[in-house]
Amino acid sequence: MNDDSAVDNSITPEEDIILDFRHVTKKFPGVTALSDVSFQIRRGEIHGLCGENGAGKSTLMKILSGVYPWGTYEGQVFCEGQELKLENRSIRQAIETGIAIVYQELTLVPGMTVGENVFLGKEPLEAGAINWDKLYADTQQLLTKYKLDIHPQAIVKNLGVGKMQMTEIAKALSENARILILDEPTSALAEAEIEKLMEILRTLKEHGVTCIYITHKLNEFFAITDSITVLRDGHVITTQPTPSLTVEKLVSYMVGREMTERFPESHRQPGEVILEVEDLHAADPEESAREVLKGVNLTLRKGEVLGIAGLMGSGRTELAMTIFGEYGKITQGTVKLDGRVIDVKSSREAMMQGLSLVPEDRKRHGLVLIQSILRNISLPNLDQFASWFRIDDNAELKASRTFAQSLAIKAPNLEVQCNTLSGGNQQKVVISKWLMSSPKVLILDDPTRGIDVGAKYEIYKLINDLTAQGIAIIMISSDLEEVLGMSDRVMVMHAGRSAGTLDIAEATQERIMTLATGIA
Amino acid sequence: MNTNSKNGSAQDVAATLVKQFRTNIQTYAIIVAMIFIWILFSLVTNGLYLSPQNISNLIRQITVTAFLSVGMVLIIVTGNIDLSVGKVAGFVSVIVAQLQANIWYRLFPEQDLLAAILSVIAGLAAGTLIGAFQGYIVSYLAVPSFIVTLGAQWAFNGGILLVTQGKTIPANQPYFSWIGQGYLNPTGGWIAAAVVIALLFYAMFNSRQKKLRYGFELGPLYLDVLKTVMYSVMIVIYVAVVNSFNGVQIPVLLLAISAAVMAYVSNNTRFGRYAYAIGGNREAARLSGVNIKKNVFTIFVVMGLLCGVSGVVLASYIGYGTVAAGGGYELDAIASCILGGTSTLGGEGTVFGAMIGSLIMASITNGLQILNVPASWQYVVKGAVLVLAVYMDVYFKKNR
């Protein structure tokens, strides 16, 4: 296990710097991703790394993990006084140096136990066979040491996201990681789990583990970090102790201008009711006896934003998918569009009725990542350009460009593959593809998840533009401030039911949480 | 970005060409590999390899399995596989031979042309029906294509035995034989070449005109012209070479038409686009309103039709239906697709690449045959080349 005392007597006694970036510059053809980046991280601190998408955070992390090996960048990185010289993609070498990354997407084997995952690739052996007793005992010891509340023999796929993440952290620590990089660790976590993660990080700090913490949720920086480095366009803007910063200051460092409002001003005038959902019940498609929606009611007006709040598992996403015709059977209740009962059985039928859905998980459900922006935007809309034997590729390009430009997708051209785009730009591509079908009702399922402040603001502005055109919007979100900042009314879901609908004037975080947790 | 290179210097031209080359490196790499193989074999065979007769043979050799590759590309692109194509083509070939030998002359005595036409129709219909049946099970009953088509491979192997009763059936009436063995006369060959070249130029200028009408920036004209001229030169060389032997072979002409149609379909129709989207991300395609079942079903129907074409050409080319017909062709077809850059994970692959892949496989086999390398070693070399080629692809992708 990690021997902390040995670590403490290291080379730089006067100032205890564990990681030191000196004039790091990384250039790609046509872009400078990092430009003369210099900052230091002290041993045992939690260091926040903050910046919009494309600011250079991921590039920096890729240098630390050997994706961009030593020699492909200018400048130097010192880890405990030694220059870091990683070979190409040598994650192993990074781990041996003591650097481990907990990725946004978890990298566990779902069918294996916690212990098997933690010791994957380094199982303790006895006479050539795996010594299971030792493996589980060591796992238990590790979990106890860092106060990780999981059972070593639990199967990973049966754990919640929060506990999966703990397993991931345990795995990193089992490698004697002294520097732990957490990239967007809370993007999939519920409030209670986030609190738990914060506790774990504090325990790690007590044990002398240094953390680099990356997130788009600014309040987390203030809850947990000791100091923050802000990156913008590949430059270090500042490194400061957290107490000397405020949210406003941080945002202005990130975007390079004073951001007075997180949400753009809007003057919405909702019109007549366009969508009505009455007492909707729907079953799990995998298990038709289990009802996931147990009575949802909502009304939506033209030019209105209806926010939907609720905890994970409350049925928010299932509601969106059911209305869109891509979830289980509707067992009871009706969906009315323009006063007519509609019964959509597939996304295609939903589109023809004038419904669009921007799904929650843009990489899994929203985009064909290996295809170009153009192909992605036009995919659901090919009927507009095609006869049975031919797609008019010029018309396709023209229409796609119009949307790409009006949504300000940042890319040299539309032939760029989607997997090279930043999260915010990917989301804009998904929104473009769903706007091209000129919907009457647009359902946005967590539209700003994992994207930066600047891109969020642009999406909010877009939502306002769309409502001004009379489009009715349902916006599902885990971010309560966003729900409160953008909605005209808020429908709160709890356990598959609509727990209540609040007018924006009467809605507060407390009232929403009371409804969402089922206390009311 | 094209403004400075439009009327630019030789340097600009070179830079643009290099850029073009980089973006299509995979396609070019495989063409370069093929040329390398040709040069190599032509050196060790003292030029015999590149003689008109051998070129003519080599290209005809690929046709039967290349029809299968043409369909296989889209099957693999959607993330499926079809292991039955060899035996289905074989089954079609013995049915057609049986019809030619034992049925038509009783129903329509002395009507050889009618008989040949009916044979073709029957062969294509049989292939299409088989494709539809398998497609139905794969897409609507959701049985994995690997299983369905493996089962079908065995089933149609049995079917071949049933139809032939273990005997060889002749199918060598002149009209019918023309499909697999016939030639265009030299004038016909030149006319066909002229038509294709005229179409290429028309398509190029037409596309530029349309782009202008939409107000899009155009790539440099010389680049488009250069490309079209290059294709034209290749066509002219091919026709000149085969004309100095016997002329353009009918099966090669049929293959060129099938490949061109499928290449067009895969790029320029909803059907083709949906196939790539399904292979790239099935869930995203489904939520984008793509009817996955219908699309996959249709792809299997098209595959069946191409098995039909392949079977008819096979029966006509070898002149009889045999018990061994079509054995192992499915693996040649799959290997050609993979060599030509089709991703086993789905979502990527082109018909053009698969054709080059077929040509490479045939070039190697043919060269080894001329050198009198025993069949045993031919297999060893073929296997090694496939694995090596895919390794190189993986290597270059990783180090790009």
pLDDT tens digits along B201-215: 999 999 999 988 888
DSSP character string of B244-313: TTT--BHHHHHHHHHHHHHHHHHHHSHHHHHHHHHHH-HHHHHHTT--HHHHHHHHHHHHHHHHHHHHHH
Same domain, B301 and B327: yes
Q: What is the predicted pLDDT for the residue at A4?
A: 42
Query: Does residue A510 lie in a domain region?
Result: yes
* A:B CB pairs within 8 Å: 80
Cβ within 8 Å, pair A365-B284: yes
pLDDT for the residue numbered A264: 85
pLDDT at site A374: 95
- Rounded CA gap, B33 and B25, in Å? 12
CB A369 within 8 A of CB A419: yes
CA distance B24 to chain A (A): 13
Q: Which of A200, A226, A260 is the last residue of a domain?
A: A260
**A111 and A21 within one domain:** no
Closest to B287 (Cβ–Cβ): which among A359, A371, A390? A359
Q: Are residues B242 and B336 in the same domain?
A: no
Residue A161: the pLDDT is: 76
Domain at A5, CATH number: 3.40.50.300
Residue of A nearest to B279 (CA): A368
Interface contact flag, A368 B269, Cβ < 8 Å: no
By CA distance, what is A388's nearest residue in B? B269
User: Do both A403 and A508 map to the same domain?
Assistant: yes
Contact A200/B at CB under 8 A: no
CB contact under 8 A, A364 and B273: no
Q: Which residues of A touch B276 (CB under 8 A)?
A: 368, 371, 375
Claim to verify: residue B192 and residue B328 sit in the same structural domain: no
Residue A167: phi and psi, rounded to 5, are -60, -45
- Whether chain B has a CB inside 8 Å of the CB on A387: the answer is no
| Domain identity same for A285 and A306 | yes
Contact A25, A74 (CB under 8 A): yes
Based on the structure, what is the number of domains in chain B?
A: 2
The pLDDT score that the predictor gives to residue A9 is: 39
- Taking alpha carbons only, the member of B267, B306, B329, B274 closest to residue B139 is B274
Instruction: Report yes or no on A320 lying in a domain.
Output: yes
Residues B309-353 have pLDDT tens digits of 999 999 999 999 999 999 899 999 999 999 988 988 899 999 999
Comparing C-alpha atoms, which of A95, A96, A104, A16 is closest to residue A57?
A: A104
Task: Give the three-class secondary structure for A505.
Answer: coil
Q: Say what the pLDDT of residue A220 is.
A: 87
SS3 of residue A171 by DSSP: helix
Residues 409-438 of A with CB under 8 A from B: 433
Helix (H) or strand (E) holding A488: none
Residues A164 and A224 both lie in one domain? no
What's phi and psi for B171, nearest 5 deg? -145, 70
Cα dist. A311→A193, A254, A317, B125, B384 in Å?
Answer: 12, 29, 11, 56, 55
Find the domain containing B204 and state its range: 184-248
Tens-place pLDDT, residues B22-31: 666 666 777 8
Query: Looking at the structure, do residues A210 and A86 belong to the same domain, yes or no?
Result: yes
- Closest Cβ opposite residue A394 in set B214, B280, B283: B214
Residue A496 domain boundaries:
273-516
Count up the domains in chain A and report the number.
3
Residue A6 above 70 pLDDT? no
Tell me, rounded to whole angstroms, the distance of Cα B186 from its chain centroid. 24
Write down the mean pLDDT value for chain A.
86
CA distances (Å), origin A192, targets A311, A455, A496: 10, 27, 20
Distance from CA of B215 to the nearest CA of A (A): 9
Residues A254 and A279 reside in one and the same domain: no
Query: Does B52 lie in the same domain as B155?
Result: yes
**Tokens read off for B267:** 């790029």
pLDDT of residue B71: 96
Domain's final residue, options A151, A175, A199: A175
CB-CB: which of A350, A366, A390 is closest to B284? A366
Helix locations, A48-178, DSSP H? 57-64, 91-97, 114-118, 132-145, 161-174
For A:159-188, CB contacts with B below 8 A are none
> Which of A106, A100, A26 is CA-nearest to residue A59?
A26
Do A335 and A443 fall within a single domain?
yes
Tell whether B2 is covered by a domain. Answer: no
CB contact (8 A) between residue B284 and residue A390? no
User: Which pLDDT tens digit goes with each residue over A44-96?
Assistant: 999 999 887 667 888 888 888 888 888 889 999 998 888 888 887 667 788 88
Q: A286: pLDDT confidence band, cut at 50, 70 and 90?
A: confident
| B384 located within any domain | no
Distance CA A312, CA A372 (A): 32
Same domain, B219 and B269: no
Question: Model confidence over B191-200: pLDDT tens digits?
Answer: 999 999 999 9
Comparing CA positions, the residue from B367, B329, B333 lying closest to residue B87 is B329
Percent share of chain A, pLDDT over 90: 43
Average pLDDT of A422-437? 90
Residues B310/B65, Cβ–Cβ less than 8 Å: yes
Backbone angles phi, psi at A341, to 5 degrees: -75, 130
Is the predicted pLDDT of residue A259 greater than 70, yes or no?
no
Q: What is the distance between the alpha carbons of residues A150 and B149, in angstroms, rounded to a whole number? A: 45
Asked if B216 and A397 count as a contact pair (C-beta separation under 8 A), the reply is: yes
Residues A465, A356 share a domain: yes
**Contact B20/A at CB under 8 A:** no
Does the residue B385 lie in any domain? Answer: no
CA atoms of A445 and A476, how far apart (whole Å): 5
Residue A380 near chain B (CB below 8 Å):
yes
Other CB atoms within 10 A of residue A381 CB: 23
Q: A390 to chain B: which residues are within 8 Å by CB?
A: 268-269
Looking at residue A11, what is its pLDDT?
42
Q: What percent of chain B has pLDDT over 90?
A: 68
Q: Per-residue b/e over B330-352, b at no fewer than 16 CB within 10 Å? A: bebbbbbbbbbbbbeebbbbbbb
The rounded distance, in Å, linking the Cα atoms of A364 and A511 is 33
Assigned token pair, A81: 């006084």
Asked whether residue B81 falls in the same domain as residue B214, the answer is no
The mean pLDDT of chain B is: 90
Q: Do B153 and B280 reside in the same domain of the chain?
A: yes
Averaged over B81-98, what is the pLDDT?
97
Nearest chain A Cα distance for residue B281, angstroms? 5
pLDDT > 70 fraction of chain A, expressed in percent and rounded: 93
Residues A345 and A488 in one domain: yes
CA angle A353, A474, A489 (to 5 degrees): 135
- Whether B284 and B362 map to the same domain: the answer is yes
Alpha-carbon distance of B375 to B330, in angstroms, equals 19
**CATH code of residue B370:** 1.10.3470
The answer to whether A394 contacts B290, with C-beta atoms less than 8 Å apart, is no
Any domain includes B253: no
Do A168 and A240 have their domain in common?
A: no
What pLDDT is attached to residue A329?
84
User: Could you give the percent of chain B with pLDDT greater than 70?
Assistant: 93
CB atoms within 10 A of CB A504: 15
B262 touching chain A per CB within 8 A: no
**Tokens matching residue B188:** 């016909």
B382 domain residue, yes or no: no
| Cα-to-chain-centroid distance, residue A304 | 26
> B153 and B210: one domain?
no
Q: Are residues A94 and A112 both part of a single domain?
A: no
pLDDT at A191 over 80: no
Domain ends where: A260, A291, A315? A260
Residue A446 and residue A213: Cα distance in Å, rounded?
22
Residue B287 lies in a domain: yes
Whether residue B34 is found in the same domain as residue B158:
yes
- Name, in order, each residue with C-beta under 8 angstroms of A210's C-beta and a sequence gap of 6 or more: A18, A19, A41, A42, A43, A44, A45, A46, A47, A178, A179, A180
Confidence of residue B230 (pLDDT cuts 50, 70, 90): very high
Residue B165 pLDDT level (bands cut at 50, 70, 90) = very high
Among B268, B269, B287, pick the best mutation site for testing chain A contact (most A Cβ within 10 A). B287
A9 touches chain B (CB under 8 A): no
Query: What's residue A400's pLDDT?
Result: 94
Residues A340 and A230 occupy one common structural domain: no
- The residues in A 10-39 lying below 8 A from B, measured between CB atoms, are none
Cβ–Cβ below 8 Å for B268 and A347: no
- Are B288 and A326 within 8 A, CB to CB? no
CB-CB under 8 Å, B269 with A386: yes
Residue B122 has pLDDT above 70, yes or no: yes
**Inter-chain CB proximity B284 and A383 less than 8 Å:** no
Q: Does A393 touch chain B (CB under 8 A)?
A: yes
The interface residues of chain A toward chain B in range 347-376, judged by CB-CB distance below 8 A, are: 347-348, 350-351, 357, 359, 364-371, 375
